[in-house]
Amino acid sequence: MGTPDGDFLDLDWLPARERGAPIVVILHGLEGSGKSHYVRGLMREAEERSWRAVVVNFRSCSGEVNLTPRMYHSGETEDLDWIMRTLTVREPTLRIGAVGVSLGGNVLLKWLGEKGEGAPPQVLAAAAISTPFNLAACARVLDRGLNRSMYTASFLRTLKAKLRKKQRLYDRLLDLPAALRARTFAEYDRLVTAPLHGFADERDYWTRSSSGPYLARIRRPTLLINAINDPFMPAAALPRDAASKSRFIHANFVREGGHAGFLEGASGRRSWAEGRALAFLERHLLG
């Protein structure tokens, strides 16, 4: 789909077997895509219910780099807002549920909080899995020790590869040599995310893009699933207080599950979080 700013988004669709079926909008995590294991799991859950689903591949995440300098980030909600408006204009009686995982969960929750009472009436419920509610806290744990070598290095490798493919767009916008030397999220967000998206620095980006402060403004039933042992998200940063004060937020903070894991069964290939998220949506979309 072409975007209003002359770029594009690739969407992966699961068509419905039944006329008028609800649709699930799925948002993936950092450097994920429609091929991510948790996205496939959510699509399977939707298919088992004979629902429709659409996966939003964030800019440059579908396998094809986008056309404009801007990319995607944890607080970027304009594309999601445009997609929701497009869906509801095309089908005003649509029943929409949304699920975001990791970065996608942060984007979804921030958007819901930004919209508040003004969220499209077709959006009936949402679920967020392994959300980084506090980006500064997450950056601190990911930028040190084993996390830095296991996770951060892997994410930065693919992010830098996209910068190289788009380097002609960045001559006057970024210090590209310095950006390609970034070894932490703090460095990358300072050198890339902030200047590309209008933030003063990495801390300004983390503060303004974290979904935690937006939870109190959400006005749709929303399920939060996070594990206390998530290596990306410190347990102390879980928004227990905000969740307890909202009649719209249903928090399911469990001891184990890692980051977007929550595996169950003998094979350990299926996530109970995906089924629980869709069951939550089902109660509100069909109730």
The verdict on whether 175 is a catalytic residue reads: no
Q: Which residues of 10-46 are buried (b: 16+ CB within 10 A; e: fewer)?
A: bbbebebeeeebbbbbbbbbbbbbbebebbebbbbbb
Burial degree of 189 (CB within 10 A; 0-12, 13-18, 19+): buried
* 138: nearest Cα among 184, 173, 170: 184
Choose the catalytic residue: 189, 210, 230, 271.
230
Note the helical H segments in the chain. 37-48, 78-90, 103-115, 135-142, 145-147, 153-165, 176-180, 185-188, 194-197, 202-209, 240-245, 272-285
The verdict on whether 28 is a catalytic residue reads: no
**Residue 151, number of CB atoms within 10 A of its CB:** 18
Choose the catalytic residue: 74, 102, 209, 271.
102
Choose the catalytic residue: 28, 73, 197, 259.
259
The verdict on whether 246 is a catalytic residue reads: no
Active site residues: 102, 230, 259
